[in-house]
Amino acid sequence: MPVYSEKVMEHFMNPRNVGEIEDADGIGEVGNPVCGDMMTFYIKVDDNHLSDVKFKTFGCGAAIAVSSIVSEMAMGNTLEEARKITPALVAEQLEGLPKNKYHCSNLGAQALNKAIDDYLKKQGKKVKSKRRGKNEKE
Ligand code: FES
Task: State the average pLDDT for the chain.
Answer: 92
> Which of 35-39, 80-84, 119-123, 130-134 has the lowest average pLDDT?
130-134
**Is the confidence at residue 130, as pLDDT, over 70?**
no
SS percent in the chain: helix, strand, coil, step 5: 40, 20, 40
CB 30 less than 6 A from any atom of ligand 1: no
Residue 68: count of CB within 10 angstroms of its CB: 24
Using one digit for the tens of pLDDT, what is the confidence trace for 82-102? Answer: 999 999 999 999 999 999 999
**Catalytic residue numbers?**
35, 104
Rounded Cα distance between 102 and 99, Å, is 5
In tens, the pLDDT along 68-81 reads 999 999 999 999 99
Q: Best of 57, 67, 103 to mutate for ligand 1, by most ligand atoms within 8 A of CB? A: 103
What integer is the mean pLDDT of 109-119? 98
Contacts of 63 (CB under 8 A, 6+ apart): 37, 39, 57, 104, 107, 108
Q: Name the residue with the closest Cα to ligand 1, atom 4.
A: 104
137 band by pLDDT with thresholds 50, 70 and 90: very low
72 secondary structure, DSSP code: H
- For residue 89 and ligand 1, the question of a CB distance below 6 A is answered with no
Q: What are phi and psi of 73, to 5 degrees?
A: -65, -35
Question: Structural domains in the chain?
Answer: 6-120 (3.90.1010.10)
**Where does the pLDDT of residue 2 fall: very low under 50, low under 70, confident under 90, or very high at 90 and above?**
confident
Please give the pLDDT value at position 1: 63
